[in-house]
Amino acid sequence: MGSENPFEKSILRTLEKPDGGEFGKYYSLPALDDPRIDRLPISIKVLLESAIRNCDEFQVKCEDVEKIIDWENTSSKQVEIPFMPARVLLQDFTGVPALVDLACMRDAVKNLGGDPEKINPMVPVDLVIDHSVQADVVRSENAVQANMELEFERNKERFGFLKWGAIAFHNMLVLPPGGGIVHQVNLEHLGRVVFNTNGILYPDSIIGTDSHTTMIDGSGVAGWGVGGIEAEAAMLGQPMSMLLPGVVGFRLLGELREGVTATDLVLTVTQMLRKHGVVGKFVEFYGEGMMKLSLADRTTIANMSPEYGATMGFFPVDHVTLQYLKLTGRSDETVSVIESYLRANNMFVDYDEPPAEKVFSSYLELDLKDVEPSVSGPKRPHDRVLLKEMKADWRACLNNKVGFKGFAIPVEAQSKFAELTFNGTREKLRHGDVVIAAITSCTNTSNPSVMLGAALLAKKARELGLEVKPWIKTSLAPGSGVVTKYLTKSGLQKYLDQLGFYTVGYGCTTCIGNSGDLHEAVASAITDNDIVAAAVLSGNRNFEGRVHPLTRANYLASPPLVVAYALAGTVDIDLETEPLGHGKDGRSVFLKDIWPTNDEIAKAVQLNVLPDMFRATYDAITEGNPLWNGLLVPSGTLYAWDPASTYILKPPFFENMTMTPPGPRSVKDAYCLLYFGDSITTDHISPSGSIHKDSPAAKYLVEHGVDRRDFNSYGSRRGNYEVMVRGTFANVRIVNKLLEGEVGPRTIHIPSGEKMHVFDAAMRYKNEGQDTIVLAGSEYGVGSSRDGAAKGPMLVGVQAVIAKSFEQIHRSNLVGMGIIPLCFKPGEDAETLGLNGHERYTIDLPNKVSELKPRQDVKVVTDNGKSFACTLRFDTEVELAYFDHGGILQYVIRTLVEDKHRK
């Protein structure tokens, strides 16, 4: 076991208050008197401080500290370090399975003779129930209350389980549903920036079970998304093993031009960084342009770190950060502590002082005046399209072959339309017509400038007599109630209402797939005539099948542009030269006629966004709502599992578990369950949206007495492994090369040649005792940090995934569930190797983990004589230990029980 901290006597200092007394003690980086530290990026200093403060020569060693100090030399050498975050952030879609696992782990520890109370968070855990909004109620002033009642009716059992967890587990804060989106709540309320625990000051840092945890990076808090299983280990006091990352220095210059929004900036940055290549790296922003970006602008950029592929996009704390903390209701005392501590540890940026020389792994630069109005789509967030080129790009997409930028619509079919009757009126629906327009997602609803900009645009549009077609599903889903307060105070909310952008609730909606159903007439017109309908949303993700099953084209845009496209009714338009529509006097109205000026927006923000709004909003959230407060839940250390539940079910992860690790497992004569191309997302692997009526999950629910109207979503039922496993690879837009062009969640059972649902094929292989693998292209597992995308494949029997490259969080999740991640060698893939997915695959591994090394070469042999080398993507020694134990949670359980026996 570890000893006392070796740095305590040498560099623990007292932080004095300016007027006498002390704030607390802290581990002083300047006291180390090492010139290498001065050159470190501030994001790396956060890792360094954590390593020093937690150093016990057991979990964190002095040699780990030295690796971080020597970052300039070590970051390019795949060096492994431990990281212990200050806290863990959960939201309910991932929080439920995390709590399910913790409850199940308590049972397992008890069965092995340990103390189940040991399964308890060792660091603060903040759980926000945010995925509680379905945009079902359209154009209704009572949408918020109606949605809240609907969600409690649907999710009462799930909410009750979370409320039990808040009681059963210590050190856990649960914020009830209806309060907002987890990342916006984290930014506006939960973020500490600097902790003071038992008199010790240290930087707030965070890992969260959603990839957009990175939003908090805009406030100088280092945080990123991990899989739920990795977060669970961190909650239980296990250091997170990570490779010391490279840091891309991104210099910002100048100022945004008139008419350009923070959303346009973030779409530009996303495209630049995705092209530069930042997977597995930190991005740290700096430069004089930072002074011209509000903190809300910064968090908009930081939020989309997963879309540009970085672990995080970090904005160090400066005066802008301190102003925001005061704006959001933090006390003067709190802000004073934050500034004093960060200045003392050389982690504060003061633009009145000469800039400190920092060394980065690589460099990028952007002059803000060069940013132009943009959208991104139709299928990926980094496929940016200049607004002025949108019409041409759209028509090219219709012509292009099926892919990220193509729909392959025959020329003769591009001008066709579908007729529908809506409220007694005959309408026509064409390719590119907008059927969903949603102001949604914490990415942009946290930013008052774009929200008030959208409201001002709506006001001007209404004054000129413009309207939105009634069959377009419009919605407004702010990330917190603060948005409603300042829209109401400004007098602008009513104009959004008049255009149908009623507030449907405070949580994730369209961006996560909670779009609700389209009107039956619209849905039939799309499906019966194969119309490529469009959605325009202010979110961060537009992967196929995510927003809505019937919108094949999905564009990310700023909130003002969402309103504009709703008014135009189509994406097949040049908004710079063509009118949005005709006003009450019959004249053409163009986008430039209703676009608010920067001064108008700035004035609206200054007058209407006030600290009292934040205080009042979060006081109300903390108190809870009547529906939540009325939930009666049992107490007790162990959860009383209900085997009949369709929401919360005890998973089989620890069945028949013993204290002896199973060791590495080879893969013998495995069949290929699925053969994929590039950019398979976690939404493809484990969708969170609606449950299709003909799917295996639907069949299961019907067999268990659930009506179709009560199916809810895959995300909301992720606490039931039987639903999650049937939803594995169930995305309606998934493309499996074994099916040679057919789209949908089906595959071929190779021995019989039969086509069937993926789940059915997997169960057939499993029952026959056959291993399975998955073949894939590059960027396998991009998207949300969804642990179900690893748990599901493990439960259906997938033993290994062989891909060109992995998204880092998903690779980590696969490791955590005992699935072997393998990478083809550079320049090789299934196609170049002549593989068609009908072969059987053998991957021989030694039966002792001591004979394995991180990233070693492994030979794969097929039954038709092919042989090729792959890189074993267990990246650290700790990950090999997890594999030896059959998974990260099994490793934690055995460690805790062994500690008890050792004592």
Predicted pLDDT of residue 826 = 96
Phi, psi angle pair for 856, to nearest 5°: -75, 165
573 Cβ contact partners less than 8 Å away, ≥ 6 residues apart? 390, 391
Nearest-angstrom CA–CA distance, 572 and 586? 22
Q: What is the DSSP string of 607-659?
A: HH--HHHHHHHHHHHHH--HHHHT------SS----TT-SS----STTTT--S
Phi, psi angle pair for 80, to nearest 5°: -90, 135
Nearest-angstrom CA–CA distance, 241 and 771? 29
- Give the number of C-alpha atoms closer than 13 A to the C-alpha of residue 659, restricted to the C-beta side: 13
- Alpha-carbon dihedral sign for residues 641, 644, 646, 650: positive
- Is residue 855 within 8 A of residue 681, CB to CB? The reply is no
pLDDT band at 845 (very low <50, low <70, confident <90, very high): very high
Look at residues 700, 695, 693, 746 and name the one whose alpha carbon lies nearest to residue 723: 700
The letter for the amino acid at 451 is: M
Residue 133 has pLDDT above 80, yes or no: no
Nearest-angstrom CA–CA distance, 91 and 550? 27
Predicted pLDDT of residue 139 = 55
- Dihedral angle computed from the Cα positions of residues 801, 804, 807 and 808, in that order, rounded to the nearest 10 degrees: 80
- Reported as a single tens digit per residue, the pLDDT across 651-684 is 999 999 999 999 999 999 999 999 999 999 998 9
Q: What is the DSSP string of 239-267?
A: PEEEEPPPEEEEEEES-PPTT--HHHHHH
Per DSSP, the three-state class of 129 is: coil
Residue 488 CB: number of other CB atoms within 10 A?
14
873's tokens: 């993507």
Look at residues 719, 657, 818 and name the one whose alpha carbon lies nearest to residue 114: 657
Residue 132 has pLDDT above 80, yes or no: no
Residue 799 has pLDDT above 60, yes or no: yes
Residue 517 has pLDDT above 90, yes or no: no
Residue 399 CB: number of other CB atoms within 10 A?
13
Q: What is the DSSP string of 8-19?
A: HHHHEEEEE-TT
Q: Tell me which DSSP letter residue 118 carries.
A: G
Nearest-angstrom CA–CA distance, 606 and 347? 29
166's tokens: 């808040």
Predicted pLDDT of residue 1 = 44
Look at residues 443, 460, 551, 562 and name the one whose alpha carbon lies nearest to residue 501: 562
- Is residue 229 within 8 A of residue 879, CB to CB? The reply is no
- Is residue 181 within 8 A of residue 152, CB to CB? The reply is no
Rounded alpha-carbon distances, angstroms, from residue 344 to 17, 326, 561, 829: 12, 21, 44, 51
- Alpha-carbon dihedral sign for residues 74, 78, 84, 88: positive
Percent pLDDT > 90 in the chain is 78
Between vectors from CA 654 to CA 649 and to CA 657, what angle results, nearest 5°?
Answer: 155
The letter for the amino acid at 407 is: F
- Is residue 515 within 8 A of residue 546, CB to CB? The reply is no
884 Cβ contact partners less than 8 Å away, ≥ 6 residues apart? 661, 662, 663, 664, 849, 891
Of 78-87, 167-176, 429-438, 506-515, minimum mean pLDDT range: 506-515
Look at residues 643, 782, 787 and name the one whose alpha carbon lies nearest to residue 715: 787
275's tokens: 């092209």
Residue 200 CB: number of other CB atoms within 10 A?
13
Nearest-angstrom CA–CA distance, 673 and 773? 6
Residue 622 has pLDDT above 90, yes or no: no
* DSSP-derived pairing of the beta strands 588-589 and 754-757: unpaired
Q: Which long-range contacts (CB under 8 A, 24 or more apart) does 410-417 make?
A: 413/530, 416/529, 417/529
The letter for the amino acid at 392 is: A
Nearest-angstrom CA–CA distance, 162 and 519? 33
183's tokens: 């990342």
User: Could you tell me how far CA 547 lies from the centroid of its own chain?
Assistant: 14
Phi, psi angle pair for 36, to nearest 5°: -65, -30
Predicted pLDDT of residue 513 = 80
Nearest-angstrom CA–CA distance, 97 and 169? 15
521's tokens: 């007439």
Residue 785 has pLDDT above 80, yes or no: no
The secondary structure element, H or E, covering residue 843 is strand 840-843
pLDDT band at 136 (very low <50, low <70, confident <90, very high): low
Span 73-98, average pLDDT:
91
Nearest-angstrom CA–CA distance, 715 and 788? 9
Residue 903 has pLDDT above 50, yes or no: no
Between vectors from CA 581 to CA 579 and to CA 583, what angle results, nearest 5°?
Answer: 115
- Is residue 345 within 8 A of residue 28, CB to CB? The reply is yes
Predicted pLDDT of residue 545 = 82
Say if residue 378 is preceded by a cis peptide, omega within 30 of 0. yes
- Is residue 400 within 8 A of residue 408, CB to CB? The reply is yes
Nearest-angstrom CA–CA distance, 32 and 42? 16
pLDDT band at 623 (very low <50, low <70, confident <90, very high): confident
- Reported as a single tens digit per residue, the pLDDT across 170-213 is 999 999 988 888 999 999 999 999 999 999 999 999 999 888 99
pLDDT band at 823 (very low <50, low <70, confident <90, very high): very high
453's tokens: 């900009």
Residue 135 has pLDDT above 70, yes or no: no
Q: What is the DSSP string of 132-150?
A: ---TTS-S-TTHHHHHHHH
Phi, psi angle pair for 879, to nearest 5°: -65, -35
Nearest-angstrom CA–CA distance, 733 and 347? 46
- Reported as a single tens digit per residue, the pLDDT across 33-47 is 999 999 999 999 999
- Is residue 106 within 8 A of residue 136, CB to CB? The reply is no
What's this model's pTM, rounded to 2 decimal places? 0.85
Q: How far apart are the first and last CA of the chain?
A: 10
* DSSP-derived pairing of the beta strands 384-386 and 374-376: antiparallel
Look at residues 71, 312, 305, 299 and name the one whose alpha carbon lies nearest to residue 207: 312
pLDDT band at 91 (very low <50, low <70, confident <90, very high): confident
Predicted pLDDT of residue 187 = 96
- Is residue 879 within 8 A of residue 241, CB to CB? The reply is yes
Predicted pLDDT of residue 832 = 97
596's tokens: 């608010």
Nearest-angstrom CA–CA distance, 267 and 379? 14
Span 285-297, average pLDDT:
96
Predicted pLDDT of residue 140 = 61
pLDDT band at 311 (very low <50, low <70, confident <90, very high): very high
- Is residue 430 within 8 A of residue 424, CB to CB? The reply is no
Of 634-638, 781-785, 790-794, minimum mean pLDDT range: 781-785
- Is residue 452 within 8 A of residue 482, CB to CB? The reply is no
Q: Which residues does residue 194 pair with via DSSP β-bridges, in sequence order?
A: 203
**Radius of gyration (Cα) for the chain, nearest Å?**
27
Of 269-283, 362-376, 429-443, 619-633, minimum mean pLDDT range: 619-633
34's tokens: 């090492």
Q: Tell me which DSSP letter residue 154 carries.
A: H
Nearest-angstrom CA–CA distance, 865 and 467? 65
Look at residues 338, 312, 305 and name the one whose alpha carbon lies nearest to residue 323: 338
Phi, psi angle pair for 357, to nearest 5°: -75, 120
